[in-house]
Amino acid sequence: MINAPLSTASQPLRIGLAGLGTVGASVLRILRRQENALAARCGRAIRVTAVSARDRTRDRGVDLAGLTWFDDPVALAKSSEIDCLVELVGGSDGPAKAAVEAALASGKSVVTANKALLAHHGVALATLAEEQGVALAFEASSAGGIPVVKTLREALSGNNVTRLYGILNGTCNYILSRMEIEGLTFEACLADAQRLGYAEADPTFDVEGYDTAHKLAILTSLAFGTKIDAEAIHVEGISSIAPLDLKMADELGYRIKLLGVAERTKTGIEQRVHPTMVPKSSAIAQVMGVTNAVTIDADAVREITLVGPGAGGDPTASAVVADIADVARGTAGLPFGLPVARLETPTRAPMQRHEGGYYVRLAVLDHPGAAAAIATRMAEADISLESIVQRRSESAAARDPSGRSGAPVPVVLITYATSESAIRAALEKVSADGHIAEPPQVIRIERE
């Protein structure tokens, strides 16, 4: 039975490669470098026969001689010269979607690294792949070189996943790591990240959490056997994080990470992306710089964490080539591990009913009784405080050695588990009371 692909599928797998950027060029280099090993592993040769990209003249450092060139990726997808389309064009719609649909519709397997495409059209594309009896593989779409798709789809077959959380965006983790270690502002670290090529000229997509959300949408589906529901994700980015938050986190035994979290709660599947306080001793807190990590809690395996590069040409190409090898071997399986008809429509857990601990930083005006008024508002909402830290602001101290200046003083509250709605309601009252100088900073705490 397992020798079937080796004996019957002796024809080479012919690859059409759409998109010749950093990842595409690396895929081409790896397929050539590993030609013999891959043929032995898959029982058949893997050969790139045709390519498509925007600019035919650009030097990509790889030899394109002998490959059929297509200006149009859709024409490549439909070509009878290929058996499998590797889509590295990017974008949730446009040519990427058209090419993937054309390939699947013409009975070709597809390997893609396109998280936006999957997050928006994953279920429809998987349905098409299933109807055609071909593969749709997307290991590289989430967490780059980390084999989290394969782990969720295959290695945890016997598990009920209860929670998945991860650092899925290297740009944000790089910025937060440098802010923490060097005490710099978000803006300074972002500028450095842009200079070093870790952040785009328009960084919104990364720093505001949308990139993490796309990846999380895919992983949630794999983890819980549910239809992708990207619109349900609560998304907050890291641009509001201040150096003071990182300093306070450190003092209180936490680090701040932009996490994507998917959890099965009693109200449904909760999906959220936001800056998160994680205990310094946790595995996820150790992950610094551009590295990604995903932790999966499940009933049988308890907890596993996968750490590795979430981006970059070679690591992403490593995942693309693994998918190509699965297609060549005939072991790619169903796109989401289950037939699409078996994927459940997830019940959305409303964010207002999220339960957990909170870090709240308030700029408290130096009014007599302000602290007591705040504490009362919390108590009224049944919110118990684990700790309260009040720091006299340094600038205020400089101006007025008596310590009373009228300038706002940072006060940090760490709450025990409460609900999002309770904390929001209490903080609205605190704001209305007129004791704080700016909107509260609220950062959720993730338990280990």
Active site residues: 215
Q: How far is the CB of 399 from a copy of itself (least distance, A)?
A: 40
Residues 115-144 that bind a copy of itself (CB under 8 A): 130, 133-135, 139
The dihedrals phi and psi of 392, each to the nearest 5 degrees, come to -70, 130
332 scored as a contact of a copy of itself (CB under 8 A) = yes
Q: How far is the CB of 110 from a copy of itself (least distance, A)?
A: 12
331 scored as a contact of a copy of itself (CB under 8 A) = yes
Q: Which stretch binds a copy of itself (CB under 8 A): 204-212, 247-255, 319-327, 390-398?
A: 319-327
Q: What is the side-by-side strand order in the sheet with 84-87?
A: 68-70, 46-52, 13-18, 84-87, 109-112, 136-137
Query: Residue holding tokens 């030097």?
Result: 59
Contact 128, 334 (CB under 8 A): no
- Please tell me the chain's helix, strand, coil percentages from 3-state DSSP, rounded to the nearest 5: 40, 25, 35
x-or-dash string of contact with a copy of itself, 348-367, rule CB under 8 A: --------------------
Contact 264, 430 (CB under 8 A): no
CA dist., res. 389 & res. 303, Å (int)? 33
Q: How far is the CB of 4 from a copy of itself (least distance, A)?
A: 8
298 scored as a contact of a copy of itself (CB under 8 A) = yes
Residues 144-203 that bind a copy of itself (CB under 8 A): 145-147, 150-151, 154-160
Q: How far is the CB of 330 from a copy of itself (least distance, A)?
A: 6
Closer to a copy of itself by Cβ: residue 42 or 426: 42
16 scored as a contact of a copy of itself (CB under 8 A) = no
Closer to a copy of itself by Cβ: residue 156 or 364: 156
Binding residues for NADP(+) are: 18-25
Which amino acid, residue 223?
A: A
Residues 198-257 that bind a copy of itself (CB under 8 A): 225
Closer to a copy of itself by Cβ: residue 139 or 263: 139
306 scored as a contact of a copy of itself (CB under 8 A) = yes
Q: Which stretch binds a copy of itself (CB under 8 A): 65-73, 89-97, 177-185, 292-300?
A: 292-300
Report which of 118, 122, 108 is spatially closest to residue 76, judged by C-alpha positions: 108
Q: Which stretch binds a copy of itself (CB under 8 A): 26-34, 162-170, 231-239, 380-388?
A: 26-34
3-class SS letters over 70-86: ECCHHHHHHCCCCCEEE
Among 338, 388, 396, 425, binds a copy of itself (CB under 8 A): 338
CA dist., res. 403 & res. 393, Å (int)? 9
Among 109, 212, 271, 276, binds a copy of itself (CB under 8 A): 109
Q: Which stretch binds a copy of itself (CB under 8 A): 64-72, 177-185, 297-305, 431-439?
A: 297-305
Among 321, 364, 411, 414, binds a copy of itself (CB under 8 A): 321
Closer to a copy of itself by Cβ: residue 308 or 346: 308
- Residue 29, classified by CB atoms within 10 Å of its CB into exposed (0-12), middle (13-18) or buried (19+), is middle
CA atoms within 13 A on the CB side of 344: 11
CA dist., res. 24 & res. 333, Å (int)? 24
Maximum pairwise Cα distance, the chain: 86
278 scored as a contact of a copy of itself (CB under 8 A) = no
Q: Which residues contact 172 (CB under 8 A, 6 or more apart)?
A: 206, 207, 209, 212, 237, 238, 258
CA dist., res. 379 & res. 377, Å (int)? 5
300 scored as a contact of a copy of itself (CB under 8 A) = yes
- The C-alpha angle with vertex 319 and arms to 1 and 132, in degrees rounded to 5, equals 55
Closer to a copy of itself by Cβ: residue 37 or 379: 37
Q: Spell out where 156-219 has E strands.
A: 161-167
CA dist., res. 123 & res. 108, Å (int)? 17
CA distances from 300 to 151, 156, 166, 223, 412 (A): 14, 9, 20, 14, 38
Closer to a copy of itself by Cβ: residue 367 or 447: 447
Q: How far is the CB of 327 from a copy of itself (least distance, A)?
A: 8
Residues 30-89 that bind a copy of itself (CB under 8 A): 30-31, 34, 37-38, 40-42
CA dist., res. 242 & res. 288, Å (int)? 18
Positions touching a copy of itself (CB under 8 A) are 1-4, 6, 26, 30-31, 34, 37-38, 40-42, 109, 130, 133-135, 139, 145-147, 150-151, 154-160, 225, 283, 286, 298-309, 312, 314-315, 317-322, 324-326, 329-334, 337-339, 342
